């Protein structure tokens, strides 16, 4: 995989130019893209700024995020060749740092549950996950050093786990959602994919204009880690359990203090109501597509929106109240621990391409708005990751704990 930090180190040392870094990416794309299918569109003649903290870094942009120089097709034929007049705020920020938004990456239609045609480069014959399939797969294939995704349920952390790459879903609204197609305004969150934790920490600090995130991610100290198995979400597969156990050993080896925690109510109750909030808002966010083009929607998305028509405002308000109470309880829980460690996905990526996988171990944390990091865990077989979670606004701490465990994993 291409490391953002390594590329920038070479550029700053004068052994690689920004133009050379982008050419390297283009060569990798020419070699790997035919077998992966991670890109929905690509700039054939990108302008490469000579200066900036991300000069020379080519970025993949999930195809629900507006770009003025490339079409934004939402993964749907309804928006074939549609060209916005302006960049999304996050794309403008990347450009201001010298980054090159080189390609649009594939997405499930409107960031829903439908699988794409993208293939998993680290687990042939298995799904890359979704809805940010193209972003995860492009980074895993070594075609891009940085890619943007979004998460409403588990669409950043889950595909990162399936494809064996680093990723962060930051604290809710840390990154601007202006110019990103909405599925659920209470849940949708931009996320970053990179070769490892170091890369996503560096990128997030720059993109969010918060240097402390990267500085904090470099030193974890001796964190108090709560081990959470989320029993209310169902059992994990043996591979996920093995990855979690290995991460625990690495954390203990690094000096962390661990204890197992059972999440109290109303957290399990909030988890059970995530779908009510998501779908009640989705039926409004996609009201035009549903009213004018229901027959053109996929079977999964169309059926999801059909069922959403029956959700009452009272049920939605009740779900929001549960979520609010759960956030207060989680805040208190973080007074006793520094980070939570849990599964990133139920197991390795499912075989075939009929599903993007199950987000059941992700959706509570998306609803809570807290930062989540996927840490790949080396092992035999298809990739499996673990998930590190910190209190709202403490993204650097989640990244620091992930880096600490990442170093520990290299020693066992």
Q: How many C-beta atoms surround the C-beta of residue 177 within 10 A?
A: 18
* pLDDT, block means (10 residues), the chain with 412 residues: 98 98 98 98 98 98 98 98 98 98 98 97 98 98 98 98 98 98 98 98 98 81 95 98 98 96 98 98 98 96 98 98 98 97 98 97 98 96 98 97 95 82
Q: Pick from 169, 223, 153, 235: which is nearest to 374 by CA?
A: 169
Angle between helices 197-207 and 395-409 (to 10 degrees): 160
And the tokens for 7?
Answer: 């590329």
CA 36/CA 105 separation, integer angstroms? 11
Whether the upstream peptide bond of residue 154 has omega within 30° of 0, thus cis, is no
| DSSP code, position 183 | S
And the tokens for 44?
Answer: 């054939």
And the tokens for 294?
Answer: 């229901």
First CA to last CA distance, the chain: 22
pLDDT, residue 216, reads: 72
pLDDT, residue 411, reads: 85
Residues 6+ apart with CB under 8 A from 311: 276, 279, 280, 283
Q: Using an 8 Å Cβ cutoff, are 148 and 133 in contact? A: no
* CB burial readout 49-65, b (16+ within 10 A) else e: beebbbbbbbbbbbbbb
Please name every residue paired with 180 in a beta bridge, in sequence order, or none if there are none: 65
Active site residue 184: no
And the tokens for 354?
Answer: 């009929």
Q: Give me the catalytic one of 3, 76, 108, 131.
A: 131
Complete DSSP assignment for 20-58: HHHHHHHHHHHHHHHHH--EEEE-SS----S-STTTT-E
Strands 224-227 and 100-105: unpaired
Q: Give me the catalytic one of 62, 169, 181, 363.
A: 62
Please name every residue paired with 341 in a beta bridge, in sequence order, or none if there are none: 227, 388
pLDDT, residue 344, reads: 98
Residue 369 sits at φ, ψ, to 5 deg, of: 75, 15
Whether the upstream peptide bond of residue 105 has omega within 30° of 0, thus cis, is no
Active site residue 155: yes
Q: Using an 8 Å Cβ cutoff, are 73 and 65 in contact? A: no
Q: Using an 8 Å Cβ cutoff, are 150 and 134 in contact? A: no
Active site residue 131: yes
Q: Give me the catalytic one of 155, 161, 171, 184.
A: 155
CA 324/CA 319 separation, integer angstroms? 9
Q: Is 389 helix (H, G, I), strand (E, B) or coil?
A: strand
Please name every residue paired with 389 in a beta bridge, in sequence order, or none if there are none: 340, 372
Residues 6+ apart with CB under 8 A from 55: 11, 18, 48, 49, 97, 98, 99
Total residue length of the chain: 412
* Residue 410: CA count within 13 A, CB half-sphere: 7
* Residue 92: CA count within 13 A, CB half-sphere: 12
And the tokens for 387?
Answer: 């998930």
And the tokens for 10?
Answer: 């070479």
Domains contained in the chain, CATH given: 4-217 (3.90.1300.10)
Q: Using an 8 Å Cβ cutoff, are 150 and 119 in contact? A: no
């Amino acid at each position: 995989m291409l490391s953002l930090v390594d590329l920038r180190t070479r550029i700053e040392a004068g052994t690689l130019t920004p133009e050379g870094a982008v050419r390297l990416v283009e060569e990798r794309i020419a070699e790997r893209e035919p077998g992966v299918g991670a890109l929905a569109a690509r700039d054939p003649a990108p302008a490469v700024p000579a200066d900036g903290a991300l000069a020379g870094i080519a970025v993949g942009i999930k195809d629900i995020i507006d770009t003025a120089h490339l079409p934004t097709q939402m993964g749907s034929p309804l928006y074939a060749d549609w060209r916005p007049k302006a960049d999304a705020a996050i794309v403008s920020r990347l450009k201001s740092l010298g980054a090159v938004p080189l390609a649009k990456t594939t997405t499930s239609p409107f960031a829903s549950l439908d699988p794409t045609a993208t293939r998993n480069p680290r687990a042939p014959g298995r799904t890359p996950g979704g809805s940010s399939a193209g972003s995860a797969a492009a980074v895993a294939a070594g075609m891009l050093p940085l890619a943007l995704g979004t998460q409403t349920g588990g669409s950043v952390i889950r595909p990162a786990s399936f494809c064996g790459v680093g990723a962060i879903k930051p604290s809710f609204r840390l990154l601007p959602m202006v110019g990103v197609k909405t599925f659920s305004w209470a849940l949708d969150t931009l996320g970053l994919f990179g070769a490892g934790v170091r890369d996503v920490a560096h990128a997030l600090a720059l993109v969010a204009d918060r240097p402390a995130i990267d500085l904090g991610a470099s030193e974890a100290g001796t964190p108090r880690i709560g081990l959470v198995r989320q029993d209310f979400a169902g059992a994990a597969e043996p591979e996920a359990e093995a990855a979690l156990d290995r991460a625990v050993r690495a954390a203990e080896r690094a000096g962390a203090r661990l204890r197992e925690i059972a999440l109290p109510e109303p957290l399990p109750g909030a988890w059970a109501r995530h779908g009510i909030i998501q779908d009640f808002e989705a039926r409004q966010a996609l009201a035009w597509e549903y009213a004018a083009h229901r027959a053109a929607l996929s079977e999964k998305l169309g059926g999801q929106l059909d069922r959403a028509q029956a959700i009452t405002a009272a049920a939605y308000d009740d779900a929001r109240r549960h979520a609010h109470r759960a956030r207060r309880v989680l805040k208190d829980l973080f007074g006793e621990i520094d980070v939570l460690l849990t599964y990133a996905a139920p197991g390795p990526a499912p075989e075939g391409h009929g599903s993007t996988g199950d987000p059941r171990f992700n959706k509570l944390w998306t609803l809570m708005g807290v930062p989540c990091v996927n840490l790949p865990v080396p092992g035999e077989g298809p990739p499996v990751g673990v998930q590190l979670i910190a209190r709202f606004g403490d993204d650097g701490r989640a990244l620091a704990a992930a880096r600490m465990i990442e170093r520990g994993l290299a020693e066992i």
